[in-house]
Amino acid sequence: MVRLDEILDDKENYNFLTIDVQGYELEVLKGSRETLKNINYILIEVNRDELYKNSARVEELDEFLGEFNFQRAETSWEGETWRDAFYLKR
């Protein structure tokens, strides 16, 4: 595996991030700390329950992204345990 921070040389040219990695979202975000400084919008899969082994729940993603001034703006659960969420930088 390679961290996103390691492969993006021109991080300042990106402001939108979309992630769907089957329950590994929090780990991808942890490897994107420098990239997140330039990102304003994130579309990411979130889970209410442990859909995948050791997958982070939506509250954990909220907490981690909150450290970078992101707030979850939209989530449509429609009775499911997983869905996509849209985060905006405050």
Please report whether residue 90 resides in a domain: no
| Residue 30 pLDDT > 90 | yes
pLDDT at 67: 97
pLDDT at 25: 95
Please report whether residue 86 resides in a domain: no
Please report whether residue 88 resides in a domain: no
Please report whether residue 1 resides in a domain: no
**C-alpha pair distances (Å), 63 with each of 29, 34, 57, 58, 59:** 12, 17, 10, 9, 6
Please report whether residue 5 resides in a domain: no
Average pLDDT over residues 37-59: 91
Please report whether residue 60 resides in a domain: yes
Please report whether residue 84 resides in a domain: no
Please report whether residue 4 resides in a domain: no
Domain span at 59: 15-71
Average pLDDT over residues 40-53: 90
- Domain total of the chain: 1
Place of tokens 């442990």: 50
